[in-house]
């Protein structure tokens, strides 16, 4: 029987039941991909992160309940929280080797800061079917990268969107809707990705790799505070550094335990 440590962490939150939950599995060595996917399906979180320590740092992979993905911000933050707080990693910065290249997470007290590549976007016209599924009849701007970015007029409009999820899948199903913020927040957003079995993602690092340069250019700022206005919600400290973005957040451990896998699990 193989025993594996597992943690459930709420990322981009300082308390349970807010932010975005991710399962984190600490492995001694890589298991077959089919088994990793079955484990992610069993956990039934938007993302399960699998991490293996190497002499030069850590290797990190992310799985939804449908497939492996090449970038996930909140699960990276959750993994760093586990490594710092549960594995007692002594350094200030963790280096992850991933499908998106080397990513780092640096700690400063309770705050953890992700250093990710910018998500490039280009002006584009959204498909009418996607807008209809979102219930959007008017928007200010739209761009396309690894997902759509659609700017609305106000936070209230972003919060009021009630998408028809079944109409978004299959089709154009990855979209961030965003608007200028109010009060302390420079901008707000929500993110939908039903094609990855994530109807609405509570707090999304990968979408902020696109939103940070978008709003940085629009507002003429390099440092911003963002709020993802999902039901759970979460704050993201943002910094735009050319072709890199820094995303800071806190994390809260909700659960830790042990997985028991038979030697033949497939």
How deeply is 174 buried, as exposed, middle or buried, from its count of CB atoms within 10 A (0-12, 13-18, 19+)? buried
Closest to 10 measured CA to CA, from 260, 256, 257:
256
Backbone phi, then psi, for 41, in 5-degree steps? -65, -40
Helix H or strand E segment including 77: helix 73-85
Query: Which is catalytic among the residues 47, 172, 196, 200?
Result: 47
Strand 251-261 and strand 122-123: pairing? unpaired
How deeply is 217 buried, as exposed, middle or buried, from its count of CB atoms within 10 A (0-12, 13-18, 19+)? exposed
CA-based torsion, 206, 56, 107, 48: positive or negative: positive
Residues 251 and 12 sit within 8 Å (Cβ to Cβ): yes
Residue 97 designated active-site: no
Q: Tell me the residue length of the chain.
A: 266
Closest to 228 measured CA to CA, from 194, 163, 179, 168:
179
Residues with a known catalytic role: 47
């Amino acid at each position: 029987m193989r025993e594996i440590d597992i943690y459930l962490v709420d990322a981009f939150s300082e308390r349970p039941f807010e932010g975005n939950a991710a399962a984190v599995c600490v492995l001694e060595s890589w298991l077959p991909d089919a088994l990793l996917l079955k484990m992610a399906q069993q956990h039934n979180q938007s993302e399960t992160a699998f991490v293996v320590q190497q002499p030069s740092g850590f290797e990190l992979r992310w799985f939804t309940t449908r497939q492996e993905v090449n970038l996930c911000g909140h699960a990276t933050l959750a993994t760093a929280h586990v490594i710092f707080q549960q594995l007692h990693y002594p350094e200030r910065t963790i280096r992850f080797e991933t499908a998106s290249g080397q990513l780092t997470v640096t700690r400063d007290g309770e705050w953890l800061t992700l250093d990710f590549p910018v998500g490039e976007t280009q002006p584009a016209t959204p498909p009418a079917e996607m807008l209809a599924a979102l219930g959007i009849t008017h928007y200010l701007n739209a761009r396309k990268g690894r997902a759509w970015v659609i700017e609305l007029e106000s936070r209230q409009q972003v919060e009021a969107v009630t998408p028809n999820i079944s109409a978004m899948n299959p089709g154009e199903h990855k979209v961030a809707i965003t608007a200028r913020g109010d009060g302390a927040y420079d901008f707000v957003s929500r993110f939908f990705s039903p094609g990855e079995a994530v109807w609405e993602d509570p707090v999304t690092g990968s979408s902020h790799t696109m939103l940070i340069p978008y709003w940085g250019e629009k507002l003429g700022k390099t440092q911003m505070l963002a709020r993802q206005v999902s039901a759970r919600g979460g704050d993201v400290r943002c910094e735009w550094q050319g072709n890199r973005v820094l995303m800071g957040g806190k994390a809260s451990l909700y659960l830790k335990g042990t997985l028991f896998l038979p030697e033949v699990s497939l």
